[in-house]
Amino acid sequence: MKGVDPGQTSMGRMVALTALWTVIALVYLFPYTWMVLTAFRQPVDTLAMRFVFRPTLDGFRTIFVDSNFQLYLQNSLLTAIPTTLVVLLLAAPAAYSLAHLNKRSRLFLGSVLVARMVPGIAILIPLYLAASRAGLLDRRLTLIVVYCAFNLPFAVWLLRGFFREIPNELREAAIVDGCSEFQVFWKIMVPLVGGGLVATSVFVFIGAWNEFLFALALTQSNAATAPLAVIGFRNEYGVQWGAIGAAAVMISTPVVAFAVVMQKYLVRGLTMGAVKG
């Protein structure tokens, strides 16, 4: 009786794993694929769940010509980009300090995480009342401040893990050579955690770009962001499935493009911070 060929066993295992990962990929990509198909289908094709149909651009025509969706996208960009930059500028020095200058600040780090765990709905009414009395409703600056406050604790916690990967001896050697603390941070530490900064920026950008609750409560028309525009495509006349699909594609495209462009740095940063907490 002949034994089983190890080569055939390895090949069979590889085929099985490939098939398994293909199925998993299809499951995860199906919602996005369905969204893209909805953007190019007629409403009747969407309701009939047809995969074979005649493509149309009526959905994109609706959002850009009839609804001025580009203004909502502009508000989202002018809100998410400043939020990401401000959060990184504030979180990086704080995370460096927690990782190398004050390693015993566990209580402060715990309070940072607790602040991040507070649900937004719990402070929505106080924020609305404060913004209303200060005359700051329907302004992008208000959204930027709120988004920074909610994303800053997460960014500090995430960047702290990246800074802890850098040996403290490197900092001590730079101090001995005459560098100031700021020079150590800016010229040595920041370049070394570049991947971590990119990874953090991706998460912060996605969080600010997709945020819905505060944008719904604190804006009306001038500062309304792209996720809010989707609400308008469901009204008393029915649901505009083509417009909703087109808007969803336009909302998700910048995030996907940003993540793809930064993929190399994102993977490097996440891998770097995965060893130590």
Tens of pLDDT, residue by residue over 45-81, are 888 888 888 999 999 999 999 888 999 999 999 999 9
Based on the domain organization, do 24 and 106 belong to the same domain? no
Both tokens of residue 92?
Answer: 């990086």
Angstrom distance (rounded) from CA 38 to CA 50:
10
Q: Are 148 and 87 in contact (CB under 8 A)?
A: yes
Residue 222 falls inside a structural domain: yes
Mean pLDDT check: name the lowest of 93-102, 145-154, 244-253.
Answer: 93-102
234: which strand partners? 239
The mean pLDDT of the chain is 86
Q: Are 52 and 236 in contact (CB under 8 A)?
A: no
End-to-end CA distance of the chain: 54
Based on the domain organization, do 185 and 267 belong to the same domain? yes
Q: What pLDDT band is residue 215 in, cutting at 50, 70 and 90?
A: very high
Residue 103 falls inside a structural domain: yes
- 3-state DSSP call for residue 42? coil
Q: What pLDDT band is residue 99 in, cutting at 50, 70 and 90?
A: confident
Residue 51 falls inside a structural domain: no
| pLDDT per residue as tens digits for the range 136-176 | 999 999 999 999 999 998 899 889 888 988 888 888 888 88
Of residues 209, 213, 253, the one with CA closest to residue 231: 213
Based on the domain organization, do 146 and 13 belong to the same domain? no
In the chain, the number of structural domains is 2
Of residues 244, 257, 271, 137, the one with CA closest to residue 205: 257
Based on the domain organization, do 14 and 124 belong to the same domain? no
Average pLDDT over residues 240-265: 86
Residue 54 falls inside a structural domain: no
Based on the domain organization, do 26 and 78 belong to the same domain? no
Mean pLDDT check: name the lowest of 6-10, 28-32, 216-220, 253-257.
Answer: 6-10
Alpha helices for 225-262 (secondary structure H): 226-229, 241-261
Q: What pLDDT band is residue 1 in, cutting at 50, 70 and 90?
A: very low
Residues 223-259 as b/e (b if ≥16 CB within 10 A, e otherwise) read: bbbbbbbbebbeeeeeebbbbbbbbbbbbbebeeebe
pTM: 0.84
Q: What pLDDT band is residue 100 in, cutting at 50, 70 and 90?
A: confident
- 3-state DSSP call for residue 257? helix
Based on the domain organization, do 32 and 98 belong to the same domain? no
**What sign does the CA torsion over 180, 182, 183, 184 have?**
positive
- 3-state DSSP call for residue 234? strand
Q: Are 246 and 232 in contact (CB under 8 A)?
A: no
Based on the domain organization, do 87 and 30 belong to the same domain? no
Based on the domain organization, do 121 and 187 belong to the same domain? yes
Residue 145 falls inside a structural domain: yes
CATH at 134: 1.10.3720.10
Both tokens of residue 274?
Answer: 């995965």
Angstrom distance (rounded) from CA 135 to CA 37:
42
Q: What pLDDT band is residue 277 in, cutting at 50, 70 and 90?
A: very low
* More confident position, 29 or 130: 130
Q: Are 255 and 210 in contact (CB under 8 A)?
A: yes
**What sign does the CA torsion over 72, 78, 84, 86 have?**
negative
Based on the domain organization, do 164 and 35 belong to the same domain? no
* More confident position, 264 or 194: 194
Residue 1 falls inside a structural domain: no
pLDDT the model gives residue 135: 92
Residue 161 falls inside a structural domain: yes
Based on the domain organization, do 136 and 268 belong to the same domain? yes
Residue-number span of the structural domain to which 24 is assigned: 6-39
Residue 59 falls inside a structural domain: no
Based on the domain organization, do 156 and 30 belong to the same domain? no
Based on the domain organization, do 152 and 265 belong to the same domain? yes
